[in-house]
Amino acid sequence: TIVKIVALATFMPIVAGMGGNAGTQTLTLIIRGIALGELTLENHKEILIKESVIGIIDGLFLGLIVAGLGYFWVQNAYFGLVIGVAMFLNLFVAAISGFFIPIMLRKIGVDPALASAVFVTTVTDVLGFFFFLGFATLMISFLV
């Protein structure tokens, strides 16, 4: 049982780190779009949908990979499920926050190139841990 708890602790930074990476990638594209005038009121919904779909696809793909790794490491399908769902949710949130944070910063007069990454990383770290630990708590009877 202690092995499973250690395994949970081992996977926590993976979920948070991947969320930060994905969110930073999205915000880079959004900041570039703002700077070049490619992100407009006319196309912002289309870009939001595109980035959301990418977040879902990345989340599913990488969620399945880490779920498989978690399962094979601990030999517990629920363990893999916890990690996979947390990864999926965090990558989706990363795409959404990577889209909205630079736009919101620009609206309040802050240069998004200077401040966006800190906010996106904070959002994905906090929510990644919340998703991971929250789901693990709900599933604890199946994990130990």
The tokens of 95 are what?
């795409």
At 67, which CATH number?
Answer: 1.10.357.20
Contact status, residue 114 vs residue 80, Cβ threshold 8 Å:
no
Kindly give the confidence (pLDDT) of every residue in the chain, 144 residues in length, as a single tens digit, with 9 standing for 90 and above: 577 778 888 999 999 999 999 999 999 999 999 999 999 989 999 999 999 999 999 999 999 999 999 999 989 999 999 999 999 999 999 999 999 999 999 999 999 999 999 999 999 999 999 999 999 999 988 987
Name the nearest CA neighbour of 98 among 128, 122, 130, 126: 122
- pLDDT for position 1: 58
- ∠ at Cα 59 (29, 23), nearest 5°? 30
Distance of CA 1 to the CA centre of its chain: 28
Record the tokens describing residue 13, joined without a space: 């930074």
- Residue 129 backbone class (left: φ over 0; alpha: ψ -120 to 50; beta: rest): alpha
When computed from its CA atoms, the radius of gyration of the chain, rounded to whole angstroms, is 17
The pTM of this model reads 0.92
Range of the domain at 55: 2-143
Task: Please tell me the total count of domains within the chain.
Answer: 1
User: What distances in angstroms separate CA 48 from CA 5, 21, 32, 126, one per listed residue?
Assistant: 37, 18, 14, 22
Task: List Cβ neighbours of 69 (8 Å cut-off, separation of 6 or more).
Answer: 80, 83
